[in-house]
Amino acid sequence: MWFAKCVPCWVSGLALPPKPSHRLNHRRTGHNQYFETRANIEVVVTEHVDDYRAAVSSLVRPDDVALEVGCAGGVTTAALGKACCVAVGVDKSFSPGMLAEQSGYAKDHVTFKQLDATDIGALLQLSKSAAQEARERYDPASSGDGAAAGPAGGFSVILVDISGSAKLSAVLDLLERYEFCFKDSLRLLIVKSFRYACVLDRTRTFESSRAATAEEVEAEA
């Protein structure tokens, strides 16, 4: 379920709390397709930058193709580059100071582009080219046990840090777009948003105690 996939990370050591229990009845009549297209995409929400970067080192795999939206000077994108196969950082604008900082992090497999977070067409093209580069660079011996067979066909990890004070509606709108547009390759979203983390701290799902009807069970299947 969607909420069970939204796990707030409170500490930089990334001691993840247990995921909330799944809902009892799963009455998703009329919503099945929405859930199915997102079932395999985990959402990790962080409040502070140290948690955000710790999530990278703990959750990103060597075979991942990763994107950071809102990369600024590129510190976190550089950390992505150490953890994954190919990392790309994008931002809607770069100041001279940001460009100077990025120049110290740019490598063959770590690149920076000036793109808006909502330019889905350009991000999809970037995803395709990054995946092709990852397939050419990928070394299975570096993946360790439990990794996938190789890089996905597009971005498998997306980090979102559009602004520490961004409205929750803007953050959620981006997540919905990315979940849908990158659903064939995406496995993990890592979000830095104190507003989102605050909402999750106070959130639980609620349902009536009645059992699901046979029609509802059949609709969910």
**179 is a domain residue:** yes
> What local confidence, expressed as pLDDT, does residue 146 receive?
46
The domain of 66 spans: 40-220
Radius of gyration, alpha carbons of the chain: 18
> What local confidence, expressed as pLDDT, does residue 164 receive?
65
> What local confidence, expressed as pLDDT, does residue 141 receive?
62
**31 is a domain residue:** no
> What local confidence, expressed as pLDDT, does residue 211 receive?
63
**4 is a domain residue:** no
**125 is a domain residue:** yes
**17 is a domain residue:** no
> What local confidence, expressed as pLDDT, does residue 32 receive?
76
Number of domains, the chain: 1
State the CATH number of the domain containing residue 50: 3.40.50.150
User: Across the 221 residues of the chain, what is the mean pLDDT of every consecutive 10-residue run?
Assistant: 45 47 60 82 95 96 95 93 94 85 82 94 96 83 54 92 85 96 96 94 80 63 57
Residues linked to residue 189 through DSSP beta bridges, in sequence order: 43, 158
**101 is a domain residue:** yes
Type of residue found at 168: L
**33 is a domain residue:** no
> What local confidence, expressed as pLDDT, does residue 103 receive?
82
Q: What predicted TM-score, i.e. pTM, was given to this entire model?
A: 0.81
**49 is a domain residue:** yes
